[in-house]
């Protein structure tokens, strides 16, 4: 499907210092409609890890004995562990960047073991701090509000990509995270400091802990996207202007489609990238 013919099928919001500048809603979706947020879940997992006061640079084999004895929390947070299922790392941890859902799922397991709480409980407690009426959760059923989940959830994948949230909650999340309400200044600095760079559809970006960092064309941008079968999400923040963009969208998906291929991504994120481009033009 050509991106020109594609109809926006979700919700989007731009805020500046908590003031709503743009709110776009395509019925039946609204601010409280629940969407699977995909890899935006990684940002939530990263914050939980940083708040747990775990030593980031010590090997975690004592807690997760099945991991290579060189792998640290820092490696998992920054996608530099080289971790793969049931096999040694594909490179020496800390030397390369390879995006890893498995690494973040291991962080979720680590959190459960050191806290004694389920990942769901940890997420709920975190969002209770942000809003007493939040709609963010880790999925445990086959429906999301009026939507049907497009694939079978394995709840062990929640830390990397399975959290369900709403536009309302993610706007609150962006404000809380970047205003300093959730992390100490030092933890926030670590989260937003690039460890490695990655090739992305916007060009090369740095990667910290659950956050991409870019200063392309002189605009300081903190970002992440999420993509799972049937759902796409975008979370952007511009610290120098205190401007936030959140986009959540549902899309048609066929099992025969290469979801992560370049063509599919361009189509799926066409409106997300348009919102971003128009916003960046205004920030110039």
**Does residue 14 lie in a domain region?**
yes
Distance CA 245, CA 16 (A): 9
**Does residue 5 lie in a domain region?**
no
216-246 burial, b if ≥16 CB within 10 A, otherwise e? eeeeebbbbbbbbbbbbbbbbbbeeebbbbb
Q: What's the number of domains the chain is made of?
A: 1
**Does residue 1 lie in a domain region?**
no
**Does residue 268 lie in a domain region?**
yes
Q: Could you tell me the two tokens for 95?
A: 């030397």
Q: Could you tell me the two tokens for 2?
A: 């050509």
**Does residue 150 lie in a domain region?**
yes
The pLDDT value recorded for residue 149 is 47
Q: Could you write out the DSSP letters of every residue in 76-129?
A: HHTT-S--BTTB--SS-TTS-----HHHHHHHHHHHHHHHSS-HHHHHHHHHHH
Q: What is the mean pLDDT of residues 61-86?
A: 96
Pick 228 or 94 by higher pLDDT: 94
**Does residue 262 lie in a domain region?**
yes
Work out the pLDDT band at 150, boundaries 50, 70, 90. very low
- Could you check whether the bond before residue 211 is cis, i.e. omega within 30 degrees of 0? no
Work out the pLDDT band at 139, boundaries 50, 70, 90. low
Work out the pLDDT band at 153, boundaries 50, 70, 90. low
Can you give the pTM of this predicted structure? Answer: 0.92
Burial class of 92 by CB neighbour count within 10 A (0 to 12, 13 to 18, 19+): exposed
The pLDDT value recorded for residue 229 is 85
**Does residue 4 lie in a domain region?**
no
N-term to C-term CA, the chain? 32
154: pLDDT strictly greater than 80: no
Phi, psi of 119 (to 5 degrees): -60, -40
Distance CA 246, CA 10 (A): 11
- Domain range enclosing 138: 10-283
Mean pLDDT score of the chain: 90
Helix (H, G, I), strand (E, B) or coil at 212: strand
Distance CA 239, CA 159 (A): 25
**Does residue 3 lie in a domain region?**
no
60: pLDDT strictly greater than 80: yes
Q: pLDDT for 168-196, tens place per residue?
A: 999 999 999 999 999 999 999 999 999 99
Contact 73, 56 (CB under 8 A): yes
Sign for the CA dihedral angle at 168, 42, 266, 16 comes to: positive
CATH number, residue 260: 3.40.710.10
Contact 235, 170 (CB under 8 A): yes
152: pLDDT strictly greater than 50: no
Phi, psi of 275 (to 5 degrees): -55, -45
Within the chain, residue ranges assigned H as helices are 41-51, 73-77, 101-115, 119-130, 167-179, 185-191, 262-268, 270-283
Contact 203, 216 (CB under 8 A): yes
Burial class of 116 by CB neighbour count within 10 A (0 to 12, 13 to 18, 19+): exposed
């Amino acid at each position: 499907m050509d991106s020109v013919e594609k109809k926006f099928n979700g919700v989007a919001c731009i805020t500046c210092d908590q003031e709503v500048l743009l709110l776009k809603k395509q019925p039946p979706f609204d601010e409280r409609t629940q969407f699977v947020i995909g890899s935006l879940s990684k940002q939530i997992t990263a914050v939980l890890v940083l708040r747990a006061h775990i030593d980031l640079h010590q090997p975690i084999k004592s807690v997760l004995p099945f991991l290579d004895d060189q792998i640290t929390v820092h490696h998992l947070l920054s996608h530099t562990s080289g971790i793969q299922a049931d096999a040694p790392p594909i490179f020496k941890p800390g030397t390369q960047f390879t995006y890893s859902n498995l690494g973040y799922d291991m962080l979720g397991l680590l959190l459960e073991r050191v806290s004694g709480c389920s990942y769901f409980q940890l997420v709920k407690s975190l969002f209770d701090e942000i809003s007493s009426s939040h709609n963010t959760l880790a999925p445990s059923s086959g429906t999301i509000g009026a939507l049907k989940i497009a694939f079978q959830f394995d709840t062990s994948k929640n830390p990397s990509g399975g959290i369900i949230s709403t536009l309302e909650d993610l706007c609150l999340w962006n404000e809380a995270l970047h205003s300093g309400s959730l992390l100490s200044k030092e933890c926030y600095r670590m989260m937003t400091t690039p460890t490695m760079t990655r090739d992305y559809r916007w060009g090369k970006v740095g990667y910290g802990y659950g956050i991409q960092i870019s200063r392309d064309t002189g605009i300081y941008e903190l970002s992440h996207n999420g993509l799972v079968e049937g759902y796409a999400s975008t979370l952007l923040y511009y610290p120098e202007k205190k401007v936030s963009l959140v986009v959540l969208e549902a899309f048609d998906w066929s099992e025969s489609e290469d979801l992560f291929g370049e063509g599919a991504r361009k189509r799926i994120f066409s409106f997300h990238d348009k919102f971003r481009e128009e916003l960046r033009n205004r920030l110039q």
